[in-house]
Chain A
Amino acid sequence: MGTEWQRTYLHGSGRMMEANTSISSADSTPLLRRIDASGIPLLVTRLFLGGLFVWMGCSKIAEPFDFLKLIRQYEMLPESPGIFLNSVAITLPWIEVFAGGALILGLFLRGGAASILIMLLVFTPAIFLRAMAIHNAAGTPFFDIKFDCGCGSGDVIIWKKLLSNTGLVLLALYALLSPSRKMCLEGRVGRRKCQSSLDLAGSPCCEEVDPAQ
């Protein structure tokens, strides 16, 4: 028999209102969940990942033709008609900026994290395939291959890039799945809704409080 969360909600004057108060046995909240509930790991993740994508997006917006030439090299889209490649070059940097901004602000957080996750899951295999093509065509050892992958950092050693991208995928997954909403605008917006509503079930503003704390 595990511990059940006591759902408590902040309402208006700040008085705690109780609902679903059945609690049993001692606290068995996993350590990781308690750390996550502090909001600190998610905040660090949001600021790092969001800042990185805002910076990458801005560097591409500043040099659109360089980015266009880079995405052409991946051969993921036809060159003719030009609308396909050009549309990606025009819109993708802005999606990176908005997704990064969403993470930093903690607003549309899951959408931002999902956007970043999708971009990473599309481009990371593309980088790998391009590296393999170079390896097969020129015989260059895989761990010596370097090129500009279009990330805004210039030429990079590809195996290191693939490793770092894997880490970014994990961070994006964490940002997507973490239930914490501390220190983010989403949490504040939700709290204001709570103050004017008694909708207790499934409300995004509801903060689950460990009764043992």
Chain B
Amino acid sequence: MKRAVLELVVLGLAGLVVGFGYNSVRSTGSLEPSKNYFDAGDIGADKGDPDKHNDEEPGLKHGYQTISFADVVDVFNDPDTELGLNVFVDARKEEPYREGHIPGAILCNPYEVDACIDEVMNSAAAADRVIVYCNGGECEDSVFMCRELLAFGLDHSVVYLYEGGWHEWEQSGSVPISTGREE
């Protein structure tokens, strides 16, 4: 049994060393060991505003402005969107994005934000609205992406959280869908 314990420790240490070593050199999918990827970055609490209760106030989630499906459709159809004044950000992974996304949406997920944040910030610089979505339902990736956008300097007043997400958009049957990568 002593031998089994020793072998177990050796395997555990090997996993530790190789795991962190590989994580530090891999080009994609590298985790920052100390980063809390699930910090919603509640801006209500950050602003110290006692009247802003993140999940209790209508129209807010974790302090971010929410937007309904009807309003998202209006924004999508707004001529200003063609001019780049309304930007959509898809916070999912590449594979579901390629299978279908809101036309014109920029792919950028909060776990690999470094790879895409420049494109988002360049597009959002002059935008009146930046609408962030993920799958919808219990998916929180859009919340974490909102946190990243604020962390990179976007003003909270232009950031909107589309809670219904891709599932709601797709299942409506009344709106266009794009596939593949946006050019």
Q: Which residues of A contact B (CB under 8 A)?
A: 61-65, 68, 72, 79-83, 85-87, 89-99, 102, 108-115, 118, 176, 204
Q: Which of A85, A94, A108, A118 contacts B19 (CB 8 A)?
A: A94
Given A79-B38, A90-B23, A94-B14, decide whether A65 and B31 contact each other with a Cβ distance below 8 A.
yes
- Chain B 7-50 per-residue mask, 1 if CB under 8 angstroms from chain A, else 0: 11111101110111011000001111111111100000000000
In angstroms, Cα B32 to Cα A100, docked, is: 27
Task: Show 27 A/B contacts (Cβ-Cβ < 8 Å), sorted by A.
Answer: A64-B30, A65-B109, A65-B112, A79-B39, A81-B36, A83-B33, A86-B31, A87-B33, A89-B31, A90-B31, A94-B19, A95-B11, A95-B14, A96-B15, A98-B11, A98-B14, A98-B18, A99-B11, A109-B7, A110-B3, A111-B7, A113-B4, A114-B4, A114-B8, A115-B12, A118-B8, A204-B3
Given A90-B20, A91-B19, decide whether A102 and B36 contact each other with a Cβ distance below 8 A.
no
CB contacts (< 8 Å) of A63 on chain B: these are: 29
Q: Taking CB as reference atom, which chain A residue is nearest B4?
A: A110
Name which of A92, A95, A99 has the most chain B CB atoms within 10 A of its CB: A95
Given A93-B19, A111-B11, decide whether A176 and B34 contact each other with a Cβ distance below 8 A.
no
B32 touches A86 (CB 8 A): yes
B6 touches A94 (CB 8 A): no
Given A64-B31, A90-B20, A91-B19, decide whether A79 and B36 contact each other with a Cβ distance below 8 A.
yes
Which 3 residue pairs of A and B lie closest in terms of their CB atoms, listed nearest first?
A: A111-B7, A95-B15, A110-B4
B111 at the interface (CB under 8 A from A): yes
A115 touches B11 (CB 8 A): yes
In angstroms, Cα B38 to Cα A81, docked, is: 10
B4 touches A92 (CB 8 A): no
Task: For residue A31, give the distance in angstroms from its CB to the closest CB of chain B.
Answer: 26
Q: Which of A72, A81, A82, A176 contacts B4 (CB 8 A)?
A: A176
In angstroms, Cα B38 to Cα A110, docked, is: 37
CB contacts (< 8 Å) of B70 on chain A: these are: none
Task: For residue A120, give the distance in angstroms from its CB to the closest CB of chain B.
Answer: 14
In angstroms, Cα B156 to Cα A172, docked, is: 52
In angstroms, Cα B22 to Cα A87, docked, is: 13
In angstroms, Cα B36 to Cα A65, docked, is: 12
Task: For residue B10, give the distance in angstroms from its CB to the closest CB of chain A.
Answer: 6
A102 touches B4 (CB 8 A): no
B29 touches A65 (CB 8 A): yes
CB contacts (< 8 Å) of A108 on chain B: these are: 7, 10-11
A115 touches B14 (CB 8 A): no
B151 at the interface (CB under 8 A from A): no
Name which of B6, B29, B37, B109 has the most chain A CB atoms within 10 A of its CB: B37
Q: Taking CB as reference atom, which chain A residue is nearest B29?
A: A64
In angstroms, Cα B14 to Cα A85, docked, is: 19
CB contacts (< 8 Å) of A81 on chain B: these are: 34, 36
B5 at the interface (CB under 8 A from A): yes
Task: For residue A136, give the distance in angstroms from its CB to the closest CB of chain B.
Answer: 17
Task: For residue A102, give the distance in angstroms from its CB to the closest CB of chain B.
Answer: 6
CB contacts (< 8 Å) of B33 on chain A: these are: 82-83, 86-87, 90
In angstroms, Cα B13 to Cα A98, docked, is: 10
In angstroms, Cα B35 to Cα A109, docked, is: 36
A102 touches B7 (CB 8 A): yes
CB contacts (< 8 Å) of B32 on chain A: these are: 82, 86
B35 touches A112 (CB 8 A): no
In angstroms, Cα B31 to Cα A91, docked, is: 11
CB contacts (< 8 Å) of A92 on chain B: these are: 15, 19
